[in-house]
Amino acid sequence: MSELDPPRSTDAIVASAPPVVQTHQRYPQPLLPRNARNWMMVWYRNYMVWKKLAVPSLIGNLADPMIYLFGLGLGLGLLVGNVHGVSYIAFLAAGTTASSVMMSASFESMYSAFSRMHVQRTWEAIMHAPLTLGDVVLGEVLWAASKAVLSGVAIMLVAGLLGYAQFPSALGALPVIVLAGVTFASLAMIVTALAPSYDFFMFYQTLVMTPMLLLSGVFFPLEQLPEGAQAATQVLPLAHAVALIRPLMLGRPVENVALHVGVLAAYAVVALTVALVLLRKRMLR
């Protein structure tokens, strides 16, 4: 503007200004983890919060499977006797180890992760740092798997101390427990992505987790089921986890290792991918 030009009002200046192109995105991209390390910060953040209440958290995670183990194992064990050549409580201990992994990983990925995502808005705060949604979700899944490993290993140790598990053979179940924890945490993350409130999780618990608990060989051999039901159990991830953990804890050879590991790994990869896609849609709404 030259000195001879008449002064213009502020409104006129704003109106004549070129349009501003909005380049800011609400959440960091890309969807996938940015690198192989960022998820550790999310894991560590959850660990620091959990550490303050570690003892009551561990007691809460162990109480339910321990009740199943000793209540059913000692009570029904007197009626059932031996199963597959071992005492019923030893048979049940291996199944309870696998089921506790499912329960712990699922509850952490549902209730706790939902609180951080939807109620506390912790995920939004984290994603203002140079982390992607993939970093956050991967950290949450691996944190849930870590808690599941603690639960499963604790029951395995109790079973070993009481003579219901064979060491060092039972140590071979540790990689299976880790894989199962990741699998069930990833599956539960899909439910978290769809949940409008805490009440929604009851559908998953009632319609998915409870039938899987009853039909996966945790409490009785799969051979006791009708042939059609036995075939249906082959698609249940818990059945494959039990099929790996039980012989290892009992000091027996494991059959069809590649099949069982492959099914668990496939569930983990597919479920995590679906959860990431659903969560991106939810977070960008």
Residues 235-284 pLDDT 10s: 999 999 999 999 999 999 999 999 999 999 999 999 999 999 999 988 87
Q: For residues 245 and 241, what is the distance between their CA atoms, to the nearest angstrom?
A: 6
Segment of 3-7, 31-35, 40-44 carrying the highest mean pLDDT: 40-44
In this predicted model, what pLDDT tens digit does every residue of 147-168 receive, in sequence order?
A: 999 999 999 998 888 888 898 9
- Partners of 87 in the β-ladder: 82
Mean pLDDT estimate for the chain:
85
Distance, CA of 80 to chain centre: 33
- Would you state the structure tokens that stand for residue 88, as one six-digit string? 């019923």
In this predicted model, what pLDDT tens digit does every residue of 183-224 receive, in sequence order?
A: 999 999 999 999 999 999 999 999 999 999 999 999 989 988
- Total-model pTM: 0.85
Q: For residues 135 and 127, what is the distance between their CA atoms, to the nearest angstrom?
A: 9
Q: For residues 33 and 45, what is the distance between their CA atoms, to the nearest angstrom?
A: 17
User: Per-residue confidence at 1, pLDDT binned at 50, 70, 90?
Assistant: very low
Nearest to 57 by CA among 71, 72, 47, 67: 47
In this predicted model, what pLDDT tens digit does every residue of 57-78 receive, in sequence order?
A: 777 777 777 777 777 777 777 6
Per domain, the residue ranges of the chain are 46-283
User: Per-residue confidence at 30, pLDDT binned at 50, 70, 90?
Assistant: low
